[in-house]
Amino acid sequence: MSSVSEMVEEGQTGEEDVWQWRLKQQMISMQFRTLTSPNPLDKLSKLHSQSDISQASRFHSSWRSPLQRAKYEYLRGKVLDVVPDYRKDAEDHLSKAVKLNPSLADAWLCLGSCIWKKGDLLSAKNCFNLALSKGPNKKILCLLSMLERRMAQGSENQAEIVEESIKHAKDAIALDVKDGNSWYNLGNALLTSFFVSGAWDHSKLMQSLKAYQHAEKDQNMKDNPDLYFNCATVNKYLENYERALSGFEAAALKDPSLNATEEVHRMVNVLNKLETLLRGHAKSKRVAALTSSLSTVNLNSSYKRTSLDMLSDGLNKAVAIVGKVLFFVKHENVTPLYYLVCDSSQMCFVLSVYGMRSDAIKEEDQLMLLEPYYRYVDFAWMEKHYQFKSIRVDFVEQVVVNGKALSSLNAVRSSIYAQHKP
């Protein structure tokens, strides 16, 4: 890094070069100290009073150019904004910068990030849009996408706002298809869409997973624990249990402050419950008694009756499974709902239900599962082997309970969002 004397030797003796160099030095110093100080805000205050900014500020009274003043105000505001909490003095300097030079995209971007910290999301979005109006920029687009996901929480038009987030995430990738952060951001947007839409669309999950896989190709993303956590979350809802457990474990190693270890424990607990229930009731007398009347159930002419052992992996079109609910499996996670069910041939399986009220299906209810999504789970984790048949239900329209179709009132939306840090 160049020193002042080296800058003079190279002929960079202008006053502007000196203060720019001093501010850059100060930013590096402040970032290091705020990360290592036990009380960053106290350290920052002391540092500010003794800093090179105080020396650099002596120059500003002699500046004639508004552009020089704007650059100075921007850099000073950026330095003050390095801490995670909102600082009004940072906003004041950044506001001066954009007034002096409205074309300074970096200042608009920094101002938007600063205002976001105090919770003024609409003003922050206006700043990001003004920054973007100066020219396409992947960093601005990613921040705008993140902000829109935050704005979607609790709003009446969640789905629309999240679609905007997805669009801006894709626009960022179009500017640099190798940028891992842009792909990670798109993965988060698609995962959020999976939840807020209420559709529980498999395609959104698969697209999210592919985006995360693209992000993993960028070496700069290898140490991002949130990437591993969110990718594991997608695999959990795709019921790729082994991949999900491995992903959460990797996230926990990279950042113990995440609740990844708790996710592993919760998943293992529910898998152990499922395995115990299946083993204990696979050939019980209760199964025989409950399933005795299933063969007489009439099906809609649009569907052909089949049994569990005749299903193929994945979506089974134009067929239906008839079964009885043995148990509702209580567990710590909100989604999915798990049931132990047996079909007309007395074969037991796990039914996982998404986007549905917990009281829509009860124990000993008769179920007709239309176009079931089937998979055979078979994997080992921590020296324990899990093997069971599973059917997944994503929509209320796929289930007929005790001969009656479920109404749309039984559908619910989840308020789960992809983990990210502004």
Cα maximum dimension of the chain: 95
**pTM for this prediction:** 0.79
Q: Cα–Cα distance between 419 and 422 in angstroms, integer? A: 10
Residue 386 CA to residue 388 CA, distance in Å, equals: 7
What pLDDT is attached to residue 185? 97
How do residues 332-385 score in pLDDT, each as one tens digit? 877 899 999 998 888 899 999 988 888 999 999 999 999 999 999 999 999 999
pLDDT of residue 239: 94
Distance CA(177)–CA(341), nearest Å, equals 46
C-alpha separations of 170 from 131, 211, 404 in Å: 18, 10, 42
* Cis-peptide, bond into residue 40, ω within 30° of zero: no
**Which pLDDT does position 102 carry in this prediction?**
97
pLDDT digits (tens, 9 = 90+) for 35-74: 333 444 444 444 444 443 543 454 454 556 889 999 999 9
Tokens of 70: 């704007």
Tens digit of pLDDT at every position of the chain (422 positions): 443 333 323 334 444 444 454 444 444 444 433 333 344 444 444 444 444 354 345 445 455 688 999 999 999 999 999 999 999 999 999 999 999 999 999 999 999 999 999 999 999 999 999 999 999 999 999 999 999 999 998 888 998 999 999 999 999 999 999 999 999 999 999 999 988 866 467 788 999 999 999 999 999 999 999 999 999 999 999 999 999 999 999 999 999 999 999 999 999 999 999 999 998 776 667 776 777 677 777 777 789 999 999 999 999 999 999 999 999 999 887 789 999 999 888 889 999 998 888 899 999 999 999 999 999 999 999 999 999 999 999 888 899 999 899 988 888 765 544 444 43
Determine the pLDDT at residue 93: 96
Q: What is the pLDDT at residue 301?
A: 74
pLDDT for 414: 56
**H helix or E strand, kind and range, residue 55:** helix 52-57
Q: CA 265 to CA 199: how far, in whole Å?
A: 28
Residue matched to tokens 């290898």: 222
| Per-residue confidence (pLDDT) for residue 284, from 0 to 100 | 67
Please give the share of the chain, as a percent, with pLDDT higher than 70.
80
Torsion sign (Cα): 21, 132, 163, 117: positive
Predicted confidence at residue 21, as pLDDT, reads 45
296-323 pLDDT per residue, tens? 777 777 899 999 999 999 999 999 999 9
Which two tokens mark 286? 């209760």
Q: How far apart are CA 296 and CA 122, in angstroms?
A: 59
Residue 408: the pLDDT is 86
Determine the Cα–Cα distance for residues 334 and 263; give it in Å rounded to an integer.
Answer: 12
